[in-house]
Amino acid sequence: ELPQIQHGAQIIIETSYGVYTYEVYDTRVVEQTQLDAIEISRDEEKLMLYTCYPVNSIGHAKNRFITYSKLVDEQIID
């Protein structure tokens, strides 16, 4: 489950055009309306994954668990 991910963990995304490896550098629990938790950068590639929190809640969850990761390796397929 996403909330158990540790800082330093790697997330590997495989696509038809390449394999991209990201390393988790931060995690947070935020309110669903906390838009400043979204990190947008034009200078470096980041991956942000989020899920409702707590994950096992029934109905509408008011919080989000977010992971922030930076690109550490890419293997582009020609």
18-77 pLDDT per residue, tens: 999 999 999 999 998 888 888 787 888 899 999 999 988 888 889 999 999 999 999 999
Q: Which residue has the tokens 């906390």?
A: 34
In the three-class reduction of DSSP (H, G, I as helix; E, B as strand; rest coil), residue 22 is classed as strand
Helices (H) and strands (E) in the chain, counts: 0, 4
Write down the pLDDT at residue 57. Answer: 82
pTM for this predicted structure: 0.85
Write down the pLDDT at residue 4. Answer: 94
In the three-class reduction of DSSP (H, G, I as helix; E, B as strand; rest coil), residue 36 is classed as helix
